[in-house]
Structures are given as structure tokens and as C-alpha cells.
Amino acid sequence: MSRRNLVNPMANAVLPVNSKQIHDIIANSEETDMLFYEYEIVDRDKEEKWARKQARRHGLCLCSRWLFMIIGNAILIALTCSTCAILIYVNTPNDLTVKPLTYGQSCVTGSSNCDWLRFLVCSSEVCSCFSNRAWNGTDCVCTTDQYWDGLTCIQKPGYQQSCSSSIPCYSKFTCDPLTSTCLCPSESAAHYSRYYTGLVTDYYSGTCEPKGAWGSACNVHYVLSCQEYNGLTCSLGAGGIFTCNCYSGYYWRSDTGNCVEQGKRPEDDCTGNAANNLGCALNATLECNAVNNQCRCPTNYFWNNNTNTCSFHGGYQTLCFDNSWCNSDLNLVCHSSALTPCDCPITSVNARCDCQNTHYWDGQICSPRVGLNIPCPGNYACSTGTCLYGYCLN
């Protein structure tokens, strides 16, 4: 058997090394020389599974080569940075590694030895406060009447100057939320109970004082020095003294604690001031009736609708518009063409106060005309007959 014939049956055959076919060929062959090729077929997936299994059995973890490279580089970088940090620390000046200096301690001008977190800087070789801040024993701060604008301490705004939530007012004032200006603080949310004693252009030196109540002394130079919310104003009072009083046309009601408009006509209310008549308009000559607390005209006066004042009741033969103009207590009426003339003793004239035809003017009052044999001043006094020899006779 030739070599060719021997080999051909196995040509291109793939067999395991220890297979029966290989053993038979070797045992039965007459060939003295034989050439075998051994191949190893590698299955990567099986190898990885087997390796992971073995690693788990021994409590290990398998990593890829690229992961080892990343971890290694990270460790190398960390070591390098740590080394640099140590070198920097070793070569850093002492003023960066020691505890910062506090207020008043000696320092090197231009250095950062002083504690900047407390706004301390080195000035003239001494740690002092930055800008115009002040040392309070712990930190450099703005004074109570200053605020920090981010760069320096600025004085807080004064009276009637602008303010806001970030710009507080000077200590004696408060920021009014309605006007955003600094005003005197008030004990009431409904009104301002204090006034400022400084001039308009003086924002700080004045003081905030309580506004004056009714009858208290006041200073006319200070705006709103009286309780204007109760209707008071500072005006010249008795004895040339400026006092807090109601405005003209108003009067003080002690029961309500405020100024109320005066009664301007009869029967208007004047409660609370019947004694001094301030509850009624004095320029209308009204007075307050203490019985019913209503305004009225004084005795012998009447309400004149034309002038809206109390006018004096007209006497005998005075001008009149209607009967209200004449003094009814004297039985006078306003004569008109509708009435029979009295002519007692003066000839009756329209629009003049006169006696009725049944009366005569006796010099004081309109008296009833007298009968016969009664003393009389003239014929006009006799109801019948004629006045002769001082008597009414037929």
C-alpha cells in the first residue's frame, strides 16, 4: 500500500488525538514513517466561563485588561497629586498655614495675616477693620446706624428719606410701607402718633415726640405737632399761647375724643359742649340748648333763612320779611297789605314790624286796645269812642 493510499482515507479528517481511528492506523500500518498534525481548537466563551467559575470558587474577581489599565492610571494620578500637595504645603509661607491674626495684633503690611472672614486687613502693621466697619469684640461690623451695601458701610436714611427692606432706616425712624420713606414710629397702626421736631432739611438731629392732644401746648413751626387724626391743629389760643385746637367750624367732643363739625342751623346736634356753646356755629349766633343738646337762636333772636344766621327780632317799625323777623314776645307782626292797618301811633307800612289792628304800641309792647272810660294815650288806643281828656269816651 502506497503512502498516498494510506493517507487518503483519512484526508481532511479531524479526529481527537486519542481517538480509536488514530490508534488503529498506527497499529495496522506498515508504513515506517507517518506524519500527524495535532490542532487545538480554542473556545473563548467556554474558557471565560470556566475562568470565572474558578475565580468565584476562590473568592476572586476577574477584570478585563482595559479596566486594570484605568485603575492603574487613576492610582498613579492620585499618588502624583498627593505628592504635589505635600510639596506645596511644605513650601507655603507661614502666614497661610498659621491661625489668622485678630483685631489689634501686629501684622506685615500688604500680607494676608489678618482674619479676612472677620473683615480684618493689615493697615499700618496692625490688624484693623476694613472700610468704615467697627470692631464689636468678635467681628468688624457696620454701626447700628449704618448698613452694608456690599462694598462699604453707609449711613441709614433719615427722616422722610427713601427706604426699603434692604435699606433700613436710621434707628429713631421706621420705614413706612405705604410711602417707602422713613417716618417717626407710631403706637398705632391706624395713624402716626409722633411728629419730628427737626427742620425739613434736617434728617437726623431732630427727635420724635408724641403729638399733642386737645388743649395741650404745641409748636406751630413743627408740621403735624397735634393729633391731626383727631381733627386737631396748632393754632393761637387764649393768652397768645399756641395750643392744639379744632379747625374753624368744628368743636371738641370729649365723649368721642375728636373734633366734630359745629351745628350750623337750629336743631342741629351739639352734644358735649352746651356749656360754652362751641357745639354750634358762633358766626351764626347759635347757642346750644343743654336740655335737648340742639342748637337754637338766643332769646329775642330768630333764624333768618336768607342769611343763615340768628337775627335780632325786630322791634316796633323795624324792617321785616315775615313774622319771624319781628319779636313775637312783644306781639309784633310783619305788616302787609293783607292786614288792617293799625296806625298805632305810627302809620302802618308794609314790611315793618307793627301791632295788629286790635292792639296798639304802648312804647314797650303791643297792648290790647282799651274800652270806654279807660285811660288812653290817643284815639289809636281806644277800641271804641274817642280818647278825650285822657280817657276813651263816646
Question: Which among 40, 15, 12 has a CA at the least distance from the CA of 26?
Answer: 15
Q: Is residue 12 part of a domain?
A: no
DSSP-derived secondary structure for 95-112: GGTSPPB-TT-B--TTSS
- DSSP one-letter code for 367: E
pLDDT attached to residue 8:
42
d(CA 380, CA 363): 13
218 and 212 in contact (C-beta within 8 Å)?
yes
pTM to 2 decimals?
Answer: 0.50
Displacement of CA 118 from its chain's centroid (Å): 35
Asked whether the beta carbons of 281 and 307 are under 8 A apart, the reply is no
Q: How far is CA 39 from CA 14, 45, 172, 203, 354, in A?
A: 9, 19, 103, 106, 163
Cell numbers given for 384 = 271804641
Q: Which three cell numbers stand for residue 253?
A: 367732643
Nearest to 103 by CA among 94, 111, 95, 113: 113
In a domain, residue 143? The reply is: yes
Q: Does 376 fall in a domain?
A: yes
Q: 394 lies in which domain range?
A: 313-394
How far is it, in rounded angstroms, from Cα 391 to Cα 372? 7
Give CA–CA dist 338/264, Å, rounded. 34
Predicted local confidence at residue 37, as pLDDT? 56
The answer as to whether 43 is a domain residue is no
Query: What DSSP string runs through 158-227?
Result: -TT-B--SSSPPPTT-EEETTTTEEE---S-SSS--EEE-S-TT-SSSS-EEEPB-TT-B--TTSTT-B-
How many whole angstroms separate alpha carbon 226 and alpha carbon 289? 30
Give dist(CA 31, CA 52) in Å, integer: 46
Backbone dihedral region for residue 191 (phi beyond 0: left; psi -120 to 50: alpha; all else: beta) = beta
Please tell me the distance from the alpha carbon of residue 151 to that of residue 139, in angstroms, as a whole number.
16
Domain-embedded: residue 85: no
Please say which residue of 125, 155, 185 terminates a domain: 155
Contact of 201 with 159, CB cutoff 8 Å: no
Asked whether residue 222 is domain-assigned, the answer is: no
Q: Is 299 inside any structural domain? A: no
Torsion of the alpha carbons at 357, 359, 360 and 361, rounded to the nearest 10: -120
Count up the domains in the chain and report the number: 2
- List strand residue ranges (DSSP E) for 14-157, in order: 120-123, 126-129, 134-135, 140-141, 146-148, 153-155
Pick from 139, 155, 171: which residue ends a domain?
A: 155
- In tens digits, what is the pLDDT along the chain, a chain of 394 residues? 333 344 444 545 556 656 666 667 666 666 556 665 555 555 666 766 776 777 677 666 666 666 667 777 778 887 887 777 676 655 555 444 578 899 999 998 878 889 988 889 998 899 998 878 889 888 888 888 899 888 888 899 999 999 999 999 999 999 999 899 999 998 777 788 999 998 878 899 899 999 999 999 998 888 789 999 999 999 988 788 999 999 988 988 888 889 999 999 999 988 866 556 678 888 888 888 888 889 998 887 888 888 888 888 888 999 888 888 888 889 999 999 999 999 999 999 999 999 999 999 999 999 999 999 999 999 999 999 999 999 999 8
CA angle at residue 269 from 264 to 274, to 5 degrees?
95
Answer with the one of 123, 155, 187 that is the final residue of a domain: 155
Q: Say if 324 falls within a structural domain.
A: yes
- Cell triple for 339: 292786614
Element (H, E) at 236: strand 232-236
